[in-house]
Structure 1
Amino acid sequence: MKKGLINIRIPEVIAVVSVYLVLSFCYHMTLYFNRGGQNDPADTLWDIGDWYFTKGLQYTFMFVATAIVWFVIFRICRSWPLKYRLLLHFLGLPFFILFAKTLFYRICEYLGYWHLDGNAEIWDVYIPGLFYLIQFAVFHAYEHYIINQRRLQYEIELKNSALKSELSAIKAQLNPHFLYNVFNTINASVPKEMEETREMIAELSDLFRYQLKASREDFVTLAEELEFVNKYLKLEQKRFEDRLSIHINVDDSLLSRKIPPMILQPLVENSVKHGISPLVKGGRIDISIHEKENKLCFEISDTGIGVEDKEAIFTLGVGLSNTQKRLQKMYQSTLKVTDNLPSGLKVQFEL
């Protein structure tokens, strides 16, 4: 379900309405049996049908008042700290009672129906007030339950992602020297006349070596990460030739900063694979890194075809979705995806 200002499920509405119907019926039956199961002979307006109508009308106004208070506290002010939202009930409670009681009494008087009067009116204050406290206690408890369930689900997803990363790291560490030896063997078998191919194999070997290092270490320097990205892009440029141009803008003073390994490559790969590759004329990828308020600000933009549905970009592969989860877990940061004018896509994040 998409997030919005209302964001309430139909079963939840049905549950609340059902509670009001049940309580209205119980209230009627309590008073009916309290009178010995008899109608008031002096007042024909105490007919069962009329009584149901008046009680239903009263609880309808209570339901409307509840909806108004709920909307203010649980939607308009949902970003407020809980203690301030609870203080709003000091305004919500009198509003709820006065709103329901005043409208109910005026409608009854207008239509000629009976309602409590005199000292008995206190029951139309006490009962709604008690019901208000009970129902909003349930609402807050339900909200806490939903938030807790979402948090647990998010933690499970993070643990699964971490487990997958650990398994991938274990696999990457299986006989790595065998892999490097294979590259060296292939490289040695390539004729000297094919020097460009030899260089590509050597760069590919370096990529695997860095990937293995990334599986073992939590942080690398920005210089190491950019060197890895450069080697990857050089291999891509061999494939695209003059269809792919690269521009990297980063101050030398930032190269020693520590960042998580493999944080840039999935974003750059996405620009190449889904942005530039579909275009016959190719395009350009810009990587810009600067410091702002003691944070490293990253921006990867391309002049590719772009993406209309920005949320769908995280379903293109595990690279982007895992990068998003890593940023959220380690830095409480997120990937910001926007259009790159005049064409293409721009991805930004902070560390």
Structure 2
Amino acid sequence: MEAQPFLKKRILGIQSGELIAFLGFYLFWAFAYHTAITINSRAWSKGEVSLLDFGEFMDTVGLDYILKALLTFPIWWLLIRRLKGWKNIKKISLHFIFLPAFVLIWQQLYYWISEIVGFGHLNGVARVWDIYIPALFYTLQFGIIHSYNYYLDNQRKIRLEGELRTAALKSEISALKAQLNPHFLYNIFNTISASVPAKNERTRHLIAELSDLFRYQLKASQVEKVPLREELEFVNKYLALEKERFQERLEIDIDVDDSILNELVPPMLLQPLVENSVKHGLSSLIEGGKISISIQKKGDQLAFEIADTGVGIKDKTNAFDKGIGLTNTRLRLEKMYKTTLQLSDNTPKGLKINFAI
């Protein structure tokens, strides 16, 4: 049980388990090469060389593979981690630059160090083997690395598709439930509102606002997109109800240009994020806090930002495992727009959520 977290621990963006496999790969090929050289040497027949001779191992291939590993790691990190968002064809094309550079740098370092410490190396026309073999090994190892990375990406896509199917099924079931008798809720709200004394007009108003929230939720289950204006009206009604609970402890700031209010967006897109800020960010603070919503047009996209001055989230990697609102919104964005939520720290405190559609 304890080995699993260790294997997933990351060093420069690469998991410990991957590094162990990387070192094991090099040790295997280094020893296999050493064995082949030893068996084919004249000294083998005379019993002068042992497969377990560490000094001989370092002399023949140890230095060779140590240098290869040191040169491989930064290329691996750059292609698989730093340029993770690049298309495979672009990353593979970089090997036309990295492969000759790898071979040249390895050969020069290997010869230079070998001459300093007294190890032997190929000379004359035989040096061509110190071009061919490193190039072949480079192709082999990065073929394996790219295949492994493709496998991981494919597994992530399979998991995401499974999550999306589950979320879609739950949404369909929820929509069916909501459509069983939608007027039942409205009638109940009207009955409650009628039973409230006339002097409690504020309570009647709150019941009417709550009724509007349910009406919009029903609409959200029947349409794919609504004008941004309607989505913001829904969020404003929700925040107005929360304001009744928090009073002066809740400050609200909405910054949206009128020119984009007719842009179409998925319904119920903002409310789960705002609710997350209220419930998990501000509700536990005695002094309350502020929620800011900013929406801007950037090129062909709408850029959204929901920020709060609450307690924030330390472990942002696992944040989506805890909240239904964050998780469902992330899945909707990935399915509809191939984008996702970006979580960061707000200033001076709290959480900031950004995304674009």
**TM-score band, normalised by shorter chain:** 0.7 to 0.9
User: How far did residue 161 of structure 1 move?
Assistant: 2.3
**Counterpart mapping for 1:105-116 below 5 A:** 105-116=111-122
Partner residue, 1:15? 21
Give the direction of change, closer, same or farther, for the CA distance of 1:184–1:52 in structure 2 (3 Å limit).
same
Partner residue, 2:59? 54
Give the direction of change, closer, same or farther, for the CA distance of 1:315–1:63 in structure 2 (3 Å limit).
closer
Structure 1 unaligned blocks of 5 or more: none
> Is 2:279 aligned against 1:309?
no
User: How far did residue 261 of structure 1 move?
Assistant: 0.9
Q: Greater CA deviation, 156-165 or 114-123? A: 114-123
Question: Rg larger in 1 or in 2?
Answer: 1
Partner residue, 1:153? 159
Give the direction of change, closer, same or farther, for the CA distance of 1:96–1:39 in structure 2 (3 Å limit).
farther
User: How far did residue 137 of structure 1 move?
Assistant: 1.5
Give the direction of change, closer, same or farther, for the CA distance of 1:66–1:233 in structure 2 (3 Å limit).
closer
Distance across 2 between alignment mates of 1:231 and 1:265: 10
Distance across 2 between alignment mates of 1:18 and 1:150: 25
The SS at the match of 1:216 is coil
Which of 222, 229, 232 aligns to 2:235? It is: 229
The SS at the match of 1:192 is coil
User: How far did residue 218 of structure 1 move?
Assistant: 0.9
The SS at the match of 2:297 is strand
Residues 22-79 of structure 1 show CA distances to partners (whole Å, capped at 9, x for unaligned) of 33333344344445784469xx7x6663543322333333333333443444445555
Partner residue, 1:325? 331
Kindly provide the amino acid, as one letter, of the partner of residue 314 in structure 2. D
Which of 208, 211, 214 aligns to 2:214? It is: 208
Distance across 1 between alignment mates of 2:271 and 2:186: 21
Kindly provide the amino acid, as one letter, of the partner of residue 53 in structure 1. M
Residues 171-195 of structure 1 show CA distances to partners (whole Å, capped at 9, x for unaligned) of 2223222232322333333333433
Residues 95-123 of structure 1 show CA distances to partners (whole Å, capped at 9, x for unaligned) of 44344444444444445454444444444
Give the direction of change, closer, same or farther, for the CA distance of 1:19–1:171 in structure 2 (3 Å limit).
same
Distance across 1 between alignment mates of 2:289 and 2:113: 70
TM-score normalised by the chain length of structure 2: 0.79
Residues 276-329 of structure 1 show CA distances to partners (whole Å, capped at 9, x for unaligned) of 433445445444444343433444444x43415272654552112222332333
Partner residue, 1:89? 95
Q: Greater CA deviation, 57-66 or 310-319? A: 310-319
**Counterpart mapping for 1:1-351 below 5 A:** 6-34=12-40, 38-39=44-45, 49=53, 51-55=56-60, 56-302=62-308, 304-307=309-312, 309=314, 311=316, 314=320, 317-338=323-344, 341=347, 345-351=351-357
Distance across 1 between alignment mates of 2:217 and 2:286: 31
Structure 2 unaligned blocks of 5 or more: none
Distance across 1 between alignment mates of 2:256 and 2:284: 28
Distance across 2 between alignment mates of 1:94 and 1:327: 42
Q: Greater CA deviation, 203-212 or 324-333? A: 324-333
Give the direction of change, closer, same or farther, for the CA distance of 1:76–1:282 in structure 2 (3 Å limit).
closer
The SS at the match of 1:267 is helix
Partners of 2:282 and 2:288 within 8 A in 1 = yes
Kindly provide the amino acid, as one letter, of the partner of residue 54 in structure 1. D
Distance across 2 between alignment mates of 1:222 and 1:157: 27
Partners of 2:288 and 2:310 within 8 A in 1 = no
Distance across 1 between alignment mates of 2:356 and 2:305: 9
Kindly provide the amino acid, as one letter, of the partner of residue 326 in structure 1. R
Tell me the percent identity: 50
Distance across 1 between alignment mates of 2:349 and 2:113: 61
Considering only aligned residues, what root-mean-square deviation do their CA atoms show, in Å? 3.5
TM-score normalised by the chain length of structure 1: 0.80
Kindly provide the amino acid, as one letter, of the partner of residue 11 in structure 1. G
Distance across 2 between alignment mates of 1:279 and 1:21: 55
Partners of 2:305 and 2:353 within 8 A in 1 = yes
Residues 186-227 of structure 1 show CA distances to partners (whole Å, capped at 9, x for unaligned) of 333333343333332232222212111111111122232233
The SS at the match of 1:305 is coil
Partners of 1:61 and 1:99 within 8 A in 2 = no
The SS at the match of 1:231 is helix
Kindly provide the amino acid, as one letter, of the partner of residue 177 in structure 1. H
The SS at the match of 2:221 is helix
Kindly provide the amino acid, as one letter, of the partner of residue 180 in structure 2. L
